[in-house]
Amino acid sequence: MAQPTAKTVLQQIFGFSQFREGQEKIINHLLHGDNVLAIMPTGGGKSLCYQIPAVLSETITVVISPLVALMDDQVAALRAIDVNAVCIHSGMTRDDQVEAWLAVRDGHSTIVYMSPERLMAERMLNALSSLSVGMFIVDEAHCISKWGANFRPEYEMLSMLKERFPQSTFGAFTATADEATRSDIAGKLFPDSGEIIVQGFDRPNLKLAVGNKENWRRQLTHFLEDKKGDCGIIYCLSRKYTEEVAGFLKDEGFNAIAYHAGQDSQVRKHNQDRFMSENAVIMVATIAFGMGIDKPDIRYVCHLNLPSSVEAYYQEIGRAGRDGAPAETLMLYGLDDIRMRRMFIDQDGKDDAHKLREHKRLDGLLAYCEASQCRRRTLLSYFDEKTDACGNCDTCLNPPKRVDGTEHARMVLSAIHRTGQYFGAAHIIDVVRGSNNQKVLERGHDKLPTFGVGKDRSKQYWQAFIRQMVAGGSLSINIQKYGCLEISDQGHEILQGTHGFEFREIPADAGPERKKSRKSAKSTAQTTHLSDADDQLLTRLKALRLELARTRNVPAYVVFSDNTLIEMASEKPATLGALSEINGVGPKKLEDYGKIFVAAINEDN
């Protein structure tokens, strides 16, 4: 009987008539024993690239996967088509783990899924050494690289596998890896020889859009008004926000479901099943949802908070439009999102180098958000891929006002060039603005011709300007060198005067504050436009006022008027002195209520 081919396995076992672009090439490499690192766009069908060789192989394939739920889903999907795969992980009973291992040992199952922690236990490595392991497959391979987003130390142990199993073939798959990350992955898994195949990152069916978060309820309902018959995902940063958004959408008549890690596992499973089976359902989720979800007809992905990096953003929007039909994405973000992301990074362990890399990854995402040119071009350039303007993103369809920034660009480029391309944006801005801090003075950068040439602009202006230079390709951020700014070929042309630089107009600086009475300046507090966060604080302050009024058996306005509370919510006085400057807070009310309200405001911040 003829040996089945990859094409017959694809058709007769997996039920697909044709390979997707790039799949057959990767499969053939693995079948011929070539080590492969494959970078494939989210939804590109990477699982088939190693499952088909595993089915055709007479030896064992070990698939290393980061999530228990993902392993269970993959194994269940294979068993549903009569491929006898197993998984071994901590979520299984000991009896089930032993049964799965015996199936592998006795040859009943040749595909076994494990976490890196379980695989790299010495006892497991010894057991596998006595068997014939033909392939090791590393899924979500960016986790192995110290340059990759979501680096996991447990994954780095996998670099010891090639020495332990020199005859085995190694395959690694990820949707997101820039050039530095790709080289690092390949060097760890197969340092001697191997193929790096970049399938491409472009998903032309996705419409990309980014907006400043002003009133998320209004903006979200506007985004969804023509999508009531479609399935979609809305990503939120916190569990509480997830519940709030899902509740709001239900009240608006949408079939919305909340999903986050704080829910019972059975609740999450039930909610996931609903999303996969019901029509026109919205999953409002934290990033706990999505990996391994293969629902082809997701028509939109919306972020109501800033993701952690370009890599995370790319993976998350990649869950839309996997059927190739048009799909939309929208990201809304505000300054509070940036603050929260910075805080999360700073609180993430004690590895300062890791923190610096993650801050620079966030800078890369902010550059994408502030892009003045084609957004798709900016996104793909992050992954070292070039493309023409797409005509299908917000900046192509509604171009922002662009102004000539060549003079300011030369200021920045000159400062970077004269300081040796060794520094990040913060130091370059200090040089351009003429800051006499210790780092500038110690290096003699206060003697440079570019010192202070941009002192008439704020730090915030120069931060936004540099992010747009990065987005436009005039500058690059070298993560391997801890985020130093480097001048690209295009940047050199600007510096030499052979190329200009246009950028999206940045709001004019407010300029120096004039000293004036805060009370007189805030006499129109009732007309203050409050952000969503301020509005939530105002609601809590009103509840506190009502509680105090009931305790004292007086009307609420006797404690503080609405105008006073609005001003508090807007200004957020953090001390009694600052509270005393709020309209309606006299000495007696400051004595009676000051500490209580200051504590409530500080608790919110």
What confidence category does residue 521 fall into, taking pLDDT thresholds of 50, 70 and 90?
Answer: very low
- Specify if 342 maps to a domain: yes
The pair of three-digit structure tokens given for residue 210, joined into one six-digit string: 């980014």
| pLDDT > 90 in the chain, percent | 45
Q: Residue 491 to residues 238, 466, 475, 498: CA-CA distances in angstroms? A: 39, 12, 6, 10
Domain count, the chain: 4
Kindly report the backbone phi and psi dihedral angles of residue 134, in degrees, each rounded to the nearest multiple of 5, phi listed first.
-80, -40
Inter-residue contact 296 to 16 (CB < 8 Å): no
Please state the length of the chain.
605
- Identify the DSSP state of 245: H
Label each residue of 73-88 as H, E or C: HHHHHHHCCCCCEEEE
Is 219 within a domain? Answer: yes
238 and 193 share one domain: no
Helical axes 406-418 vs 489-496, angle rounded to 10°: 110
Same domain, 26 and 155: yes
Please report, for the domain that includes residue 278, its CATH number: 3.40.50.300
List, for residues 279-296, the tens digit of each pLDDT value: 899 999 998 676 667 678
Q: Where are the alpha helices (DSSP H) in 146-264?
A: 153-156, 161-164, 179-189, 216-224, 239-251
| Structural domain containing residue 550 | 518-604
CA distance 53 to 36: 13
pTM above 0.75, yes or no: no
Rg (CA), the chain: 28
Amino acid identity of 97? Q
Residue 370's pLDDT band (boundaries 50, 70, 90)? Answer: confident
Q: What is the pLDDT of residues 177-225, one digit of tens each?
A: 877 788 889 999 998 889 999 887 888 999 999 987 878 999 999 999 9
Q: Which amino acid is at 124?
A: M
Same domain, 527 and 489: no
- Least confident stretch, 152-156, 224-228, 385-389, 398-402: 152-156
DSSP class of 83: -
Q: Which residue has the tokens 């040796």?
A: 420
pLDDT per residue as tens digits for the range 530-569? 777 788 888 888 889 888 878 887 666 678 877 788 888 8
Got the DSSP string for 486-512? EE-HHHHHHHHTSS--EEEPPPPP--S
- Supply the pLDDT for residue 479: 64
Say how far apart CA 316 and CA 329 lie, in whole Å: 10
Same domain, 171 and 218: no
Domain end point (choices 162, 181, 198)? 198
Determine the Cα–Cα distance for residues 392 and 406; give it in Å rounded to an integer: 27
**Chain mean pLDDT for the chain:** 86
For 200, the token pair is 């491409």
Please state whether beta strands 231-235 and 111-114 pair in parallel, antiparallel, or not at all (unpaired): unpaired
Distance CA 438, CA 456 (A): 21
pLDDT surpassing 60 at residue 526: no
Cα–Cα distance, 274 to 354 (Å, whole number): 38
| Structure-block tokens of residue 601 | 């405001």
Asked if 416 and 485 count as a contact pair (C-beta separation under 8 A), the reply is yes
Q: Answer whether 544's CB lies under 8 Å from 495's CB.
A: no
Residue located via tokens 């990074």: 345
Shared domain for 341 and 374, answered yes or no, is yes
Residues 178 and 95 placed together within one structural domain of the fold: yes
Q: Is residue 164 in some structural domain?
A: yes
Cα 59 from chain centroid (whole Å): 37
Given pLDDT bands bounded at 50, 70 and 90, which one contains residue 277?
confident
* Residue 476 within a domain: yes
Instruction: Tell whether 187 and 263 lie within a shared domain.
Output: no
* pLDDT at 269 > cutoff 50: yes
| Residue 277 one-letter amino acid | S
pLDDT at 66: 82
